[in-house]
Structure 1
């Protein structure tokens, strides 16, 4: 059996991604080696090149995969049941963006650790930028879909709304990693946004 057949039959791609996440959580972005990835995934060096083109591309894909899983989680919660109004839509989203920090801590730490590397590595910077762009696109579609259920027009471009919510999430994440007790939860965030909106109206 050739390499392609073995990797497809054994699900090597998925195992490599899972191994990459495990290595990133344990060692961080800069310290993870190709041999670490092979050991964690139970695969081989050739499979990294075949499925991803190299170690760095695999690590980048693992980070992007985390974004995808987080986006899917937000979407499931937002549309689990019919929302009562726009505020409930926002609260559902913020619960999955903010109140999950403790649960997602290992992934969030490696995500933050990737930022300094991205400032110097073009490929990683571009991959993270693509992940953010996908957040804006998919999130914008979620906003349109959710408001359409309520027969409400978006107050501004949905992608801009999502970009601001992502910025709030990123900022709160950094605060939480340093001082969890002092970081607002999702309900407090929505209250603060509502208060600001009333002041600016």
Structure 2
């Protein structure tokens, strides 16, 4: 097995462990079992168990960003509202199928509060998500011929905050959490009264 293959297997195994056991309960032996590698390979490729789990969390965030971008541009753009509905659907209506991944990601937040390396990596992942979102927004605005009312960085940060907040609500109480259409309707209603 090549070094690249070992690294990829370790990362895939770490994502699997995050989904099945969670951040705090995953041991180095779990990672070895899930990846079919050996203990020494964790240190060689990632510097340790925590660093590997941190990379797995980042990989989950990055995959979600790519998935959202693909969903937004999977069809003709349509109106700004339709575009927002597609984006919110890709961010919110996927919670059920992504539950194990979401749990692993959320478990990474407390660790990031105490571990500078993870905090920096998560901040970087959020930066990449914002950058990708700004790119989506600018492309959509250009293709639709609309002018954005505020800076795209601000709009995307708010959309991410809404998505993250709904994710936490959904993990705690899925039945009471609004779906993407309800979110877009609520944003439209807020816009009408402001």
For the superposition of Structure 1 and Structure 2, which TM-score range results when normalised by the shorter chain? over 0.9
| Preserved CA contact (<8 Å) 1:7 1:47 | no
Runs of 4+ in 1 over 4 A off after TM superposition: none
Matched residues, number: 194
Q: Distance in 2 between matches of 1:196 and 1:115?
A: 30
1:141 equivalent in structure 2:
135
When normalised by structure 2's length, the TM-score is 0.95
Return the offset for 1:96.
0.6
Tell me the SS of whatever aligns to 1:119: helix
1:151 equivalent in structure 2:
145
1:44 equivalent in structure 2:
38
Q: Distance in 2 between matches of 1:149 and 1:60?
A: 37
Return the offset for 1:151.
1.1
When normalised by structure 1's length, the TM-score is 0.92
Return the offset for 1:128.
1.0
Task: Give the unaligned 5+ runs of structure 2.
Answer: none
Once the two structures are superposed, residues 86-133 of structure 1 have per-residue CA deviations (whole angstroms, 9 ceiling, x without a partner) of: 111100000010000000000111111111111111111111111111
Task: Give the unaligned 5+ runs of structure 1.
Answer: none
1:28 to 14, 22, 27: 22
Within a 5 Å distance, the mapping from 1:50-199 to structure 2 comes to 50-199=44-193
Once the two structures are superposed, residues 123-172 of structure 1 have per-residue CA deviations (whole angstroms, 9 ceiling, x without a partner) of: 11111111111111111111001111101122111111111011111111
| Preserved CA contact (<8 Å) 2:133 2:156 | yes
1:7 equivalent in structure 2:
3
Q: Distance in 2 between matches of 1:31 and 1:177?
A: 19
